[in-house]
Amino acid sequence: MLGISVAIATYQTAVDRIFEMARVRSRTWAVEAANTMVVTKARHEPDFGRVMARFDLIVPDGMPLVWSLNRQLPPDERLADRVYGPDLMLATVDASQGATDLQHFLLGGTPEVLGKLREKLSVKFPGAIIAGSYSPPFGIWSDGENTNIFHLIRESGANLIWIGLGCPKQENWIATQKDNLPPGVYFGIGAAFAFHAGQVKQAPPFLQRIGMEWAFRLLTEPRRLFKRYFKYNSLFLWYSLTGRKRGAP
């Protein structure tokens, strides 16, 4: 997909693969639910393309990606739905209930958001283990702050680590620190913390199904999102129509 390897995945196959990775206690893995912005940014900006190349599993978060993938697949292999990052988080936490070897860590958001998120996850999935959480400081982290984060994750025993810092900060951090991170599966999960904590409204399901979630989010956060959506949605359409891949003239 524009030079990025995107998995032909469903929620179930994604969760199964995530658990396989999490149970390999000697390795660090990176997982991304990629929308059109992530894929297009990776194609358009070589530095970010190199960041995404460090991810081990990239699932199609946006319906436009699903439609583009399906055009490349035989009818019996086509996907019926995307693997939406916030829903993948819930599906993974749900499926981990009762498994003591699968534990979660939440990194990102304000203390208020993290508190509400932990509370809601504990009520909805009482059998899941939320081993730890941390609200990091804003801005660029020092080596000492990174070391502190590594210590908190390692001491918690978590092997499913959810990073809610926003794109591209979370992806850059995971890729840059991948060789230093404690073993586990690290997810770039974007706005999922705010959604599940009840701080930000999600698009209605029918808009999500027709690939118009971006329009709903644009209406709710126009100042922050207009430039991003205009730029990357336009570029995705351009690259898709012209068939240009990374490295093409």
For residue 116, report the phi and psi dihedrals to the nearest 5 degrees. -65, -40
- Entry pTM: 0.88
- So what's the pLDDT on residue 108? 96
- So what's the pLDDT on residue 226? 67
| Interval 149-187: pLDDT, tens | 999 999 999 999 999 999 999 999 999 999 999 999 999
Partners of 28 in beta bridges: 184
| Interval 106-140: pLDDT, tens | 999 999 999 999 999 999 999 999 999 999 999 89
Burial level of 65, CB count in 10 A (0-12/13-18/19+)? buried
Whole-number average pLDDT of the chain: 90
Which pLDDT band, with edges at 50, 70 and 90, does 248 fall under? very low
Q: Write b or e for each residue in 7-22: b if 16 or more Cβ atoms lie within 10 A of its Cβ, otherwise e.
A: bebbbeebbebbbebb
Residue 201 has pLDDT above 90, yes or no: no
- So what's the pLDDT on residue 249? 32
- 111 cis-preceded (ω within 30 degrees of 0): no
